Chain A
Amino acid sequence: MTIKHESQKIAEYFYTFAVVLFLVQVLVGIIAAVQFIWPDFFILKFNIIRSLHINAMVVWLLVGFMGATYYVVPEESETDLWGLPLAKLQFWATAGTVTAVVLGYIWMGLNPQANSPIMGINPLNEGREYIEAPRWADILIVISVLTFIFVNFMTMMKTKKWTGIQGTLLGGLTFLALMYLPGLFYTKSMVKDQFWWWWVVHLWVEGAWEIIAGALLAFMLMKVVGARREVVEKWMYIEVGFVMFTGILGTGHHYYWIGTPGYWLWVGGIFSSLEPLPLLFMVWDAFRTTRSARNVTNRAGLFYTVAHAIFNFVGAGLWGVIHTLPQVNKWTHGTQITTAHGHLAFYGAYVLLVLSMIYITLPAIRGVKEFNASRAYQAFWWMTISMVFIVLTITGAGMVQTYMERLMGLDYVTVKATYNLWFWILRVIFGVGFLYGVWIFVVDFFKLGREPMPAVSAVPGEA
Chain B
Amino acid sequence: MSNKAARNLFIFGSLFFFVIFLGMTYDTLGNLDKRAPEITDEVDAGKHVWHKYDCIGCHTIFGNGSYFAPELAKITEKKPKGYLKKFLMDPKAVNPAAAMPKFGITADEADKLLAFLDWSSKVDTNGWPPKPILAVAAGVAGQELSAGEKVYRAHGCSDCHIISGIGGTSGPDLTHVGAKRDRAWLIGHFKDPDDYVKDSAMPKVEAPEADIEKLADYMLTLK
Contact = CB atoms under 8 A, between A and B. Distances in A.
A407 B133 contact: yes
B162 interface: yes
Q: For B7, B60, B64, B131, which residue has the most chain A Cβ atoms within 10 angstroms?
A: B64
B3 A234 contact: yes
A338 B67 contact: yes
Nearest to B48: A117
Contacts of A233: 3, 6
Interface in B160-206: 162, 165-169
Given A245-B17, A257-B126, A237 B9 contact: yes
B126 A262 contact: yes
A12 B23 CA distance: 43
Nearest to A259: B123
A188 B44 contact: yes
26 contacts: A36-B68, A45-B101, A47-B68, A50-B57, A50-B58, A116-B52, A127-B57, A168-B10, A189-B33, A191-B36, A197-B64, A230-B3, A241-B10, A244-B17, A248-B14, A257-B63, A257-B126, A259-B35, A260-B28, A261-B28, A330-B128, A334-B63, A410-B166, A411-B162, A413-B168, A413-B169
B66 A50 contact: yes
Given A238-B10, A248-B21, 15 more contacts: A36-B68, A46-B57, A50-B58, A112-B52, A127-B57, A189-B32, A190-B61, A190-B119, A194-B62, A245-B13, A245-B14, A258-B125, A259-B36, A406-B129, A411-B167
A299 interface: no
Contacts of B131: 409
B18 interface: yes
Q: Which 5 A-B pairs have the closest CB atoms?
A: A47-B57, A127-B51, A334-B63, A409-B132, A257-B128
Contacts of A411: 162, 167-169
B141 interface: no
B147 interface: no
B17 A192 contact: no
B130 interface: yes
A238 B7 CA distance: 8
A225 interface: no
A39 B43 CA distance: 30
B169 A48 contact: no
Interface of B: 1-3, 6-7, 9-10, 13-14, 17-18, 20-21, 24-25, 27-29, 31-33, 35-36, 39, 43-44, 47-48, 50-58, 60-71, 99, 101, 103-104, 116, 119-120, 123-135, 162, 165-169
Contacts of A254: 64
A339 to B, nearest CB: 6
Contacts of B44: 188
B17 to A, nearest CB: 4
A240 interface: yes
Contacts of A48: 54, 57
B54 A330 contact: no
Interface residues of A, number: 78
A117 B2 CA distance: 56
Contacts, number: 214
A25 interface: no
Given A50-B66, A259-B62, A259-B125, A113 B104 contact: yes
B168 A409 contact: no
A240 B14 CA distance: 9
Instruction: Tell me the interface secondary structure of chain A in the complex.
Output: helix
A122 B71 CA distance: 24
A273 B130 CA distance: 22
A90 interface: no
Contact of A129 (B28, B43, B57, B99): B57
B124 to A, nearest CB: 6
Given A190-B61, A259-B124, A261-B35, A335 B67 contact: yes
A249 interface: yes
B54 A132 contact: yes
Contacts of A115: 52-54
A384 interface: no
A106 to B, nearest CB: 13
A122 B57 CA distance: 15
Contact of A47 (B27, B54, B127): B54
Contacts of A338: 67
A408 B165 CA distance: 13
A330 to B, nearest CB: 6
Contacts of A264: 24, 28
Contacts of A152: none
A189 B39 contact: yes
A127 B54 contact: yes
A174 to B, nearest CB: 12
Interface centre among A45, A263, A267, A334 (most CB of B within 10 A): A334
A412 B67 CA distance: 10
Nearest to A198: B64
Interface string A343-386: 00000000000000000000000000000000000000000000
Nearest to B159: A411
A407 to B, nearest CB: 5
Contacts of B130: 330-331, 406
A117 B52 contact: yes
B3 A244 contact: no
B27 to A, nearest CB: 8
Contacts of B17: 244-245, 248-249
Interface in A283-307: none
Contacts of B70: 412-413
Nearest to B55: A127
Q: Give the residue among B44, B66, B120 with the most A Cβ atoms within 10 A.
A: B66
Interface string A55-79: 0000000000000000000000000
Contact of B6 (A122, A238, A408, A413): A238
Most chain A beta-carbon neighbours within 10 Å: one of B39, B68, B116, B166? B68
Nearest to B19: A248
A143 B216 CA distance: 66
A36 B33 CA distance: 37
Contacts of A189: 32-33, 36, 39
